[in-house]
């Protein structure tokens, strides 16, 4: 990870890069990393890698801005960079999707009692146990700006309803989607305990993965967060520097990923600079086991890289 004798400000900016939720934040962190990366010869390769990544991100961002401008001149949709874990909120107008986005994430969408207030996708980040999950609130079904492209590519679809009969209508739009589905029965605060049990039993009988929630009382919100996280088939790998505590923010990987895969996700070409790797956790035989680059990792493993 961080080069030997790295300045504390470099380490801090590197951490900001890994925690960044947008390309803009990553670019800003990379600028700081370039500024504070050690000047000695041993860090020369790392310096080049950081500058290459910075250049590619700048070019990518510029292309996305150009595409957005083209859409604004008569095109349709909003360019959204898909994160490691992405879920989309789908529902009819006034189902409470915007309020749910606000309850789940850091977003501050427009919330009103009248219909069709969401005119374009709203994005928020759900921070679940230091894992950043991208949540997209789509315009309501029936809106002129509703775009099925995200529905067909996202990992998880959160179907927000007020009545059970809405499920079949919404599911008709999901023929091409391979995403996991979570049914969210919203505004559950309007019902008494008997009615809640009845709704819950009906959804259970249909074998839905569901949650009953209220954005007013916060009932079911934490349960929903857990269900969203578990819907992704991912593992969490934590990294640490020698002699220090592991980073609380995991690297999100696919099951079956190796030590080399983690190193390359952190920074392209980084695996070639690694001298030794130690691991702690479910895939290790004992704490601090030294392993090779092809070692297959498991959820919640901790990896320590020592560079050449």
More confident residue, 73 or 5: 5
> What's the mean pLDDT in 247-271?
92
Mean pLDDT computed over every residue of the chain = 85
Please, are residues 66 and 73 in contact by the beta-carbon 8 Å criterion? Answer: no
pLDDT in the model for residue 67? 60
pLDDT in the model for residue 244? 87
pLDDT in the model for residue 5? 61
pLDDT in the model for residue 33? 85
pLDDT in the model for residue 18? 80
Residue 237 has pLDDT above 70, yes or no: yes
Q: In the structure, what pLDDT confidence band is assigned to residue 220 with cuts at 50, 70 and 90?
A: very high
Q: In the structure, what pLDDT confidence band is assigned to residue 72 with cuts at 50, 70 and 90?
A: very low
pLDDT in the model for residue 112? 46
Q: In the structure, what pLDDT confidence band is assigned to residue 286 with cuts at 50, 70 and 90?
A: very high
Distance (Å, whole) CA 173 – CA 155? 15
Of 47-61, 97-111, 204-218, 264-278, the one with minimum mean pLDDT is 97-111
Long-range Cβ contact pairs of 193-199 (< 8 A, separation 24 or more): 199/164
Residue 248's alpha-carbon distances to 176, 238, 266, in angstroms, are: 36, 7, 15
Instruction: Spell out the CATH class of 234-308.
Output: alpha beta
Domain ranges, ordered by start, for the chain:
1-79, 86-230, 234-308
Residue 40 has pLDDT above 80, yes or no: no
Instruction: Spell out the CATH class of 86-230.
Output: alpha beta
Q: In the structure, what pLDDT confidence band is assigned to residue 76 with cuts at 50, 70 and 90?
A: very low
Q: In the structure, what pLDDT confidence band is assigned to residue 54 with cuts at 50, 70 and 90?
A: confident
Tokens at 111, concatenated: 């919330």
**pTM tops 0.75, yes or no:** no
Is the sign of the CA dihedral 247, 250, 255, 261 positive or negative? negative
Other CB atoms within 10 A of residue 303 CB = 25
Of 102-111, 122-131, 192-201, 241-250, the one with minimum mean pLDDT is 102-111
pLDDT in the model for residue 304? 94
Residue 167 has pLDDT above 50, yes or no: yes
Sheet strands side by side (includes 180-185): 122-128, 131-137, 86-91, 156-161, 180-185, 210-212
Residue 62 has pLDDT above 60, yes or no: yes
Nearest residue to 151 (alpha-carbon basis) of 121, 106, 185: 121
User: Do the domains at 86-230 and 234-308 have one common CATH topology?
Assistant: no
> What's the mean pLDDT in 63-92?
68
Of 3-7, 117-121, 276-280, the one with minimum mean pLDDT is 3-7
Is the sign of the CA dihedral 230, 21, 46, 6 positive or negative? negative
């Amino acid at each position: 990870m961080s080069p030997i004798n790295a300045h504390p400000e470099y380490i801090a900016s590197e951490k900001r890069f890994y925690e960044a939720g947008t390309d803009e934040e990553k670019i800003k962190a990379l600028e700081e990393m370039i500024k504070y990366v050690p000047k000695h010869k041993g860090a020369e390769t790392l310096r080049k890698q950081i500058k290459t990544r910075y250049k590619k991100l700048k070019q990518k961002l510029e292309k996305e801005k150009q595409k957005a401008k083209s859409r604004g001149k008569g095109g349709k949709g909003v360019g959204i960079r898909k994160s490691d874990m992405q879920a989309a909120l789908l529902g009819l107008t006034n189902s409470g999707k915007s309020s749910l986005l606000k309850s789940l994430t850091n977003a501050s969408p427009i919330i009103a009692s009248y219909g069709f207030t969401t005119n374009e996708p709203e994005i928020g980040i759900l921070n679940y146990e230091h894992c950043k999950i991208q949540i997209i609130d789509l315009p309501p079904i029936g809106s002129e700006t509703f775009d099925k492209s995200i529905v067909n590519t996202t990992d998880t679809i959160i179907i927000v309803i007020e009545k059970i009969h809405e499920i079949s209508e919404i599911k008709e739009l999901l023929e091409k989607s391979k995403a996991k589905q979570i049914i969210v029965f919203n505004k559950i605060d309007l019902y008494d305990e008997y009615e809640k049990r009845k709704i819950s039993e009906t959804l259970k009988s249909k074998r839905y993965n569901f949650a009953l929630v209220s954005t007013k009382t916060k009932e079911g919100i934490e349960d929903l967060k857990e269900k969203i996280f578990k819907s992704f088939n991912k593992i969490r790998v934590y990294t640490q520097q020698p002699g220090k505590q592991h980073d609380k923010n995991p690297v999100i990987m696919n099951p079956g990923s190796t030590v080399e895969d983690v190193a390359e996700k952190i920074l392209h070409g980084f695996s070639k600079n690694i001298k030794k790797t130690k691991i702690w956790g479910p895939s290790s035989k004992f704490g601090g086991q030294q392993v090779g680059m092809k070692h297959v990792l498991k959820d919640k493993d901790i990896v320590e890289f020592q560079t050449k």
